[in-house]
Amino acid sequence: MKFKSPIVKSKLSCEEIFNKISNLNNLKEILPKEISEYNSTSDKCSFKIENLPKINLKIKEKINFKKISLIAIDSQVPFYMNCHFKEIDSVTNVFLEIDAEVNFMMKMVVEKPLLNLLEVLSSKIKDL
């Protein structure tokens, strides 16, 4: 099941966004302020968000200046999070998506927190 953020326009170039987000030490800047237990290296991070189990992510794929994919490690709900960006007329359009393997019952539990997470992340990317 896919959950998508709205498309936001960033002042940063695709290269700047790619360089910032591809180092997971920088991810904390765009995460909700309600996170706790944040730990990171350049290619892995973990954190806790209220009402969700601890999230452990690592970089799965990087396509220079176009896309960064993260995969959940040891998660009760397997998922990928992708950040897509494309420059159009000197403005970078960015959107995020989470592709999670959830059944209908789990969807009801995780949908709101995941959509809120995507909204906060995209909003903070817009303000970078």
What pLDDT is stored for residue 122 in this prediction? Answer: 94
Q: Which amino acid is at 72?
A: A
For residue 59, how many C-alpha atoms fall within 13 Å in the half-sphere facing its CB? Answer: 17
- Report pLDDT digits (tens) over 59-72: 999 999 999 999 99
Ramachandran class of 66: left when φ > 0, alpha when ψ lies in -120 to 50, beta otherwise = alpha
**Going from the N-terminus, what domains does the chain have, and what CATH number goes with each?**
2-126 (3.30.530.20)
14-18, 46-50, 54-58, 90-94: least confidently modelled range? 46-50
What is the reported pLDDT for 50? 77
> If pLDDT is split at 50, 70 and 90, which confidence band does 113 have?
confident
| pLDDT score of 76 | 81
pLDDT at site 19: 95
Look up the pTM and report it.
Answer: 0.89
